[in-house]
Structure formats: C-alpha cells, structure tokens
A and B are shown apart, each in its own frame.
Chain A
Amino acid sequence: METQNKQNNDEEIFIDPKRLRNKTAVAFAVFTIAILAAIFIWKWIHRQPNVADVPAPLRKVLNANEKVFSNTFSNKHLAKTYPISEAVKHVRVNGDIGLKRALDSNWKLQVIRNPGDTLWVTLDDIKALPKQDLIFDFKCIEGWSQVTFWAGASFSEFAKRYNLNAQTQMNYVGLATPDKEYYVGIDMASMMHPQTILCYEMNGKPLPLNQGYPLRLIIPVKYGIKSIKRIGSIFFSNRPPPDYWFERGYDYYSGL
C-alpha cells in the first residue's frame, strides 16, 4: 500500500526551462489543432449533401443504429399493457395530414399483393377477424405518451387470413392514406409483431374521424408517426417504401 501511495503521489521533476517552454508550446499547439479539427469536422458534417433532410454522415449513422437496435427486437418483447381503468378518456389528436378530404363512403382497404394484383377488403371483413384489445402507453416522437385503449385485428392474423405469406416474406410494408398525402414504411418484423393491429375502435367505440375512421394502424413498437390514420392502401416491398416523416429529417426505423 505504501509503495502504491508513492506511485500515485504527484511526481515532482526538474526540467530545463527551455525544454519546459518547448513542451508547453507543443501541448498548446496540439490543443489548438484539436479545437480547430473539432470545428472543421462539425462544419464538414453540415456541408455534406442532405439525405432525406439530414446531412449524409448523420443519416448513415442513423441507418446503422437501425441495424444495431433491430438486433434487440423480438416478438417476445411486448409493450406493457394496462387495465382499461388507466386509459385516458380524452385521447390526444396530433395530426390531420391525409384526413383533410371527405372520406369516400365506399371506403375499402386496398391490399396490393403484387403490381396489378389488388385485393379489396371491407371494414366488415376486418371486423370478422379475431378482435384484439390493446391498452398501452402510446408514445409520440415529440416526447409525450398516453395510456390509450384500442381494438382491432392483428396484422399477422390479417396476413394469415388473406394468404399473404409470400408478401410477408418481403422486407417492408408501405401504407398510405386514400389521398396519398400521408404514408409510412415499416419493416416486416415490426409489422408482424403480435401487438401491431389494424385498428377500428377506440375506447370501445368506432374510431372518431380525427383518429382515422374507418381503419388505422396501431403499432406500439414504433413512435406514433408510424401509426397511420385512415389507411387507404397497403403494399409490400423489399426496398424501404416512402415515409412522410423520414423525408422531413426523422429516423426511418423510429422503433421503440
């Protein structure tokens, strides 16, 4: 212990004044260069061309983050669920993109199995599937969250019922509102998560118009930006489908 103390004590040394001056100068030169380098790197990053509204180097890391954190994803990792009594009565409404036009009274869900091979599904068809209640903490990318009560058919059940096996082997699902104003792209693993539902009820009643009547997506493993309201069409792709908020600088994955 004693020798250890000796070692750790500040060490005094004698040094030639000239050498001291040199050492000091070198240290300060390195320090200055490091500061300039840091400023240069910061400016360089922001001078790079944007990819979907984010400087390319940052976008690369965000995409790499998806690779890292999608490894932690599992269908066994479920969003925590709550008793109905904890669900809020007044559900926050946070966006109306894609909802501004009047809803077509003949609404049907358009499922594009392959280009030129479209399936039309009515709301009653979807209601005929096993109904799943979901009371979970809905998380907005803005930072707020709310325990809310939804019900619908799980997407994986829907895919099974409509023989979408070949389609669900692909990498992504793209969903859009009937007017194509709002659109999201979601990786297949998250889409097939057991808590991802095609939702038609909120608080035990049909969805209000501002919550996406007749059918919206509720996907707890993503931020709310992916829970698209008033779904018009669904398609499948191996390449990432266009995504409204991704194009405006957000993370494509947005997984929780």
Chain B
Amino acid sequence: MKKVIKKHPIAIRWFHWINFPILAVMIWSGLLIYWANDVYRIGWANKTILKFFPDSFYKALHIPFRLAEGMSIHFVFMWLFAINGFIYVLYLIFSGEWRLIFPNKKSFKESWTVMLHDLHLTKKVPPQKKYNAAQRIIYTVVIFMGLGSVLTGLSIYKPIQFQPLTSMLGGYEWARIEHFTFTILFILFFLVHIIQVILAGWNNFQSMITGFFVVKKNKTLLVPVVVFAGDLEENEINQNDETIRSDENETVNEQKIINPKQEENNQEDGDSK
C-alpha cells in the first residue's frame, strides 16, 4: 500500500485552475486598456525610476492601439472573475476550509520564521499544517486583493451610478490608481507563487491537480510538513520532528507524527501485494 495525504479538496482545485486563466485574461486586457492613458510611474518630480510601462514592453507584447479590444474582453471576463471568486469565498465559509486558510493568532509571529527559513537565514523550521503561517496570510490577502480589484473596478466602470463607492475610494482617479496597484500586486504574488511552487517540487505541484500528496519512503516522510521549505538535511528533519512534538504538547492535534518504522512496514505490505 502507498501512503497519501489528502491535501486540496476538488472544489478548491477547480476554483484555482479556473481563476488562473481568467485572471491572466483580465490582466492582459487590462494592459490593453491601460496603454491608452499610461500615466503611472514610480519616481518624484522629473525623476522617474520606473515607468509603467516602457515602450519596449508594449512593443514586445503588441499592446498599442487595442483599447476597444481590451475593453470588450475585460467587461466580459469580469463576470467570470467575480463569480468564481464569490463562490470560492462562499465555499471556504461553508465547508470550514477557512480555518486552514485564514490566519490565526499565531500566524503573524510565525510568518516571520517562515520568511527567514525560506530565505535560508534560519534553520528553524516553522510549523506547517496544510498551509504555513506565511501562506495563510498571503492566501487571505489575495482574496482581499480580488475583492479590491472588483470594487475599484466597479467604481471606475460606473463612477456616477456608484458614486458613494467611488468617493469612498478617494474619487475616480484614485480608484483607477488603486485598480492598477492591485494588478501589480497580483503580478508580484504570481511571481513569488511560481518560485515557491518550483522550489517545493513536483509532488507539491501535482497535489494541486490530483488533490493528494504521495508520501515516499524515509527521507521524504516529513515533506508535507515542509512543503515550502526546499531541500532538507537529515538533521533538520529531526529538528523539525522535535518542534512538532513540542508543538503538539501545547495544542492538541497540531500534526500527526509519522512513525518511520511503521511506514516501512506499510511499504513492504504494499510491495508484497
């Protein structure tokens, strides 16, 4: 028999993979629209550090003079983005999955350890259930980024009919800046997410498709615990083992300990069959 750990419910996998191309289309069509009035930059007075966006960027992606096309796509796919996101949030609430994603009291302190660990600045391995503290925070923030994109979008799409919303966001021009900023944040999130997924390896990636995580022999026994931690040395695993043990004493059922011996037996069972 092989041991697997159930990781992502099928609903979450669908929400995730439906959202990915829709968000990509929204960002792409958004760029076609933004080009027509591309006034944002980072800098001060006459000094510009970063222009959104350089002409070479537009040229390479064939963005210029496609405003109408961008709008026709943006105002169709906006529905899919909003509906998928809305059902996702409802699902999180009613399935109880929110408990695994929303940050808890410890998350903010622990997320610091996660960051130091991921940057290889500490050997201390942060505790990980389905998601570690940093993941909880960022996956929750991303939900609010989606909500922010919808609200700022609505307030520049129909600024007069939704005047109270538009003025709450600081007026029409501010709402457009905010809408743009959410887009940049989504792109930054995407880049970090991709790097993390690559570092975490194939087993973690395929669990977003199959829903389960295959537990392999010995070395990788504790991989689900350290999904985003990259490669681990043997001593780190032991150390990790300890943190979990002490953790468990404090709070009930934080993480099951896998007995390596038992695991080997199981493997043998599986092989003999």
Segment of A6-14, A115-123, A157-165, A233-241 in the binding face: A6-14
A170 contacts B by Cβ under 8 Å: no
Interface size class of B (residues with CB under 8 A): 35 or more
Bound CA–CA A57/B77 (angstroms): 12
A93 contacts B by Cβ under 8 Å: no
Interface size on A, residues (CB 8 A): 57
Bound CA–CA A142/B66 (angstroms): 11
| Pair A250/B68 contact, Cβ less than 8 Å | yes
A17 contacts B by Cβ under 8 Å: yes
**Quick one: CB contact mask for A149-163 with B, threshold 8 Å, 1 for yes?**
000000000000000
| Pair A77/B252 contact, Cβ less than 8 Å | no
Q: Which residue of A lies closest to B224 (CB)?
A: A10
With A13-B4, A143-B36 in contact, do A255 and B73 touch (Cβ < 8 Å)? no
Segment of A20-28, A103-111, A126-134, A203-211 in the binding face: A20-28
| Pair B67/A141 contact, Cβ less than 8 Å | yes
Bound CA–CA A183/B181 (angstroms): 36
B245 contacts A by Cβ under 8 Å: no
Q: Which residue of B lies closest to A136 (CB)?
A: B160
Contacts of A141 in B (CB 8 A): 36, 67, 71
User: Distance in Å from the Cβ of B255 to the closest Cβ of chain A?
Assistant: 7
A101 contacts B by Cβ under 8 Å: no
A213 contacts B by Cβ under 8 Å: no
| Pair B96/A16 contact, Cβ less than 8 Å | no
| Pair A12/B5 contact, Cβ less than 8 Å | yes
| Pair B33/A143 contact, Cβ less than 8 Å | yes
Q: Which residue of B lies closest to A222 (CB)?
A: B160
| Pair B172/A77 contact, Cβ less than 8 Å | no
With A2-B252, A77-B160, A143-B176 in contact, do A16 and B273 touch (Cβ < 8 Å)? yes
| Pair A6/B253 contact, Cβ less than 8 Å | yes
| Pair B5/A11 contact, Cβ less than 8 Å | yes
Contacts of B159 in A (CB 8 A): 139, 256
Residue of B72, B75, B176, B252 with most partner-chain A CB within 10 A: B72
A15 contacts B by Cβ under 8 Å: yes
User: Distance in Å from the Cβ of B173 to the closest Cβ of chain A?
Assistant: 6
Bound CA–CA A13/B167 (angstroms): 53
| Pair B75/A5 contact, Cβ less than 8 Å | no
| Pair B162/A72 contact, Cβ less than 8 Å | yes
| Pair B209/A9 contact, Cβ less than 8 Å | no
| Pair A27/B158 contact, Cβ less than 8 Å | no
With A11-B5, A17-B270, A145-B172 in contact, do A61 and B79 touch (Cβ < 8 Å)? yes
| Pair B253/A27 contact, Cβ less than 8 Å | no
Q: Which of B4, B5, B160 contacts A78 (CB 8 A)?
A: B160
Q: Which of A9, A65, A72, A249 contacts B161 (CB 8 A)?
A: A72
| Pair B37/A20 contact, Cβ less than 8 Å | no
| Pair B163/A80 contact, Cβ less than 8 Å | yes
Q: Which of B6, B68, B270 contacts A248 (CB 8 A)?
A: B68
Within 8 A of A (CB), among B182-214: 206, 209-214
| Pair A14/B158 contact, Cβ less than 8 Å | no
Contacts of B7 in A (CB 8 A): 10
| Pair A20/B4 contact, Cβ less than 8 Å | yes
B99 contacts A by Cβ under 8 Å: yes
Contacts of A31 in B (CB 8 A): 17, 209
**Quick one: CB contact mask for B245-263 with A, threshold 8 Å, 1 for yes?**
0000000111110100000
B121 contacts A by Cβ under 8 Å: no
Q: Which of B158, B163, B253 contacts A2 (CB 8 A)?
A: B253
A221 contacts B by Cβ under 8 Å: yes
Q: Which of A15, A59, A143, A245 contacts B37 (CB 8 A)?
A: A143
B69 contacts A by Cβ under 8 Å: yes
A-B contact pairs, 7 of them (CB 8 A): A2-B252, A54-B68, A54-B72, A141-B67, A142-B67, A143-B33, A256-B159
The list of the 7 closest CB pairs from A to B, nearest first, reads A143-B37, A249-B68, A142-B36, A27-B210, A14-B1, A72-B161, A11-B6
